[in-house]
A = this chain, B = another copy of it.
Amino acid sequence: MSTTAAPALRAPHIVTTTAELSAAIAREIEALAPSGTAATLGLVPTMGALHSGHESLVSTAREQNDVLVVSIFVNELQFNDEHDFESYPRTLDADMEILARAGADIVFVPGDEEVYPDGRPLVKIDSGALGEKFEGASRPGHFDGMLAVVAKLLHYSMPPASVGRPVAYRAYFGAKDAQQLVLINRMVADLNYPVDVRSVPIMRTAEGLALSSRNQLLTPEQAKAALVIHRALLLVKERADRHEPLYLEDAVGLFEMEPQVELDYFELVDPRTLQELAFNCQDTPFTGEGLLLVAAEVGGVRLIDNMRLGY
């Protein structure tokens, strides 16, 4: 993705309260002519500190929707470490430039007191067994806190009955946070939110490293070592594409040759349920669908990545 700024069509409308957000959404939808026909509304929830991966998500949502809302809220509930929360980058000015370029109509930037007026929720979303494995095992409470705020954001941006036309409502989340995406899809299904959850593919550097705001914490040498993650994913994907046995242990073996990279997990799971699949210990050809999940530490920086198989 080019970093050259395209001419901004107009600055997004910034709102800080849920009442302003609802009014702005109604206004933007009503401004679309002709009334009565179907409209589309996209929401992209973010925690700010936007990079090219977010920009790709926002640009996709921009193309697919008449009205585009982006939220920026650093949600303390999903940090299991207070220092991590406090040191999380806040780069609102740079974020607004990216969002103007990507064409957001409305940017919702609420304060803590707007989102949690009564403090921490008493009635909570429980991510259950799905939220305890993989990233949840390393970050207790992370997914419950993430769902707590997504449950709110999906309601804040819901198209009001007053707009007078059918509105297809979509929410966008990056494919890189695969477990988050599965959990949000489950929450939307289990609570029957009237929203369509959509995703965009992972953005990578030319060398294959998945984009993440944490990449800037890596030395050039560590960033090079981290490329083993993509090599390992590709090794398995090529076998899957050829309907061969996957032999995940070969991919795991690649990590052993990179002493700077400490593998946490490398698993093949059902893309919908995150249930571990048995292909990694079988000689049978791969003919199904799966999601490879990987997490590793490089110089104290935790990196995650994933790849779909069979698609």
Residues of chain A at the chain B interface (Cβ within 8 Å):
18, 29, 36, 39, 118, 121-131, 144, 147-148, 151-152, 155-156, 158-167, 169, 183, 186-187, 189-194, 273
Tell whether, in the assembled complex, residue B158 and residue A194 are in contact, meaning their CB atoms are under 8 Å apart: yes
Q: Are B160 and A162 within 8 A (Cβ)?
A: no
Q: In the bound complex, do residue A166 and residue B155 qualify as a contact, i.e. CB atoms below 8 Å apart?
A: no
CB-defined contacts of A183 to chain B, threshold 8 Å: 123
Residue of B nearest to A121 (CB): B190
**Do the beta carbons of B152 and A191 come within 8 Å of each other?**
yes
- Does the CB pair A165–B161 fall under 8 Å? yes
Determine whether the beta carbon of B155 is less than 8 Å from that of A193. yes
Contact of A123 among B126, B159, B162, B194 (CB under 8 A): B126
Contact of A128 among B123, B158, B163 (CB under 8 A): B123
B128, A125: Cβ atoms closer than 8 Å: no
A136 to B148, CA, bound (A): 23
Q: Which B residue's beta carbon lies closest to that of A36? A: B164
Q: Contacts of A155 on B, CB cut-off 8 Å? A: 191-194
Closest to A144 in B: B126
Decide if A126 touches B124 in the complex (CB within 8 Å). Answer: yes
A125 engages B125 (CB within 8 Å): yes
Q: Which residues of chain B are within 8 angstroms of A159 by Cβ–Cβ distance?
A: 161
Tell me, rounded to whole Å, the shortest Cβ–Cβ distance linking A149 to chain B: 10
Which residue of chain B is the closest to A168 with respect to CB atoms? B161
Query: What would be 7 A-B contacts, judged by CB atoms less than 8 Å apart?
Result: A122-B186, A122-B190, A123-B128, A123-B130, A124-B128, A155-B191, A161-B166
Q: Which of B124, B129, B156, B169 contacts A190 (CB 8 A)?
A: B124
Complexed CA–CA distance, A169 and B158 (Å): 14
Q: Which residues from B are CB-within-8-Å of A128?
A: 122-124
- With the chains together, A123 CA to B127 CA distance in Å? 5
Task: Known pairs A123-B126, A125-B126, A161-B165; list 4 more (Cβ under 8 Å).
Answer: A123-B187, A124-B126, A155-B191, A161-B166
Q: Given the complex of chains A and B, what is the CA–CA distance between A155 and B158 in angstroms?
A: 11
Contact B126 A186 (CB under 8 A): no
**Which residue on chain B has the smallest CB distance to residue A115?**
B192
**A152 in complex: contacting residue of B123, B167, B186, B192, CB < 8 Å:** B192
Contacts of A39 in B (CB 8 A): 161
Cβ-defined partner of A156 (8 Å) among B122, B162, B192: B192
Partner of A161, one of B161, B192, B193: B161
Residue in chain B with minimal CB distance to A167: B161
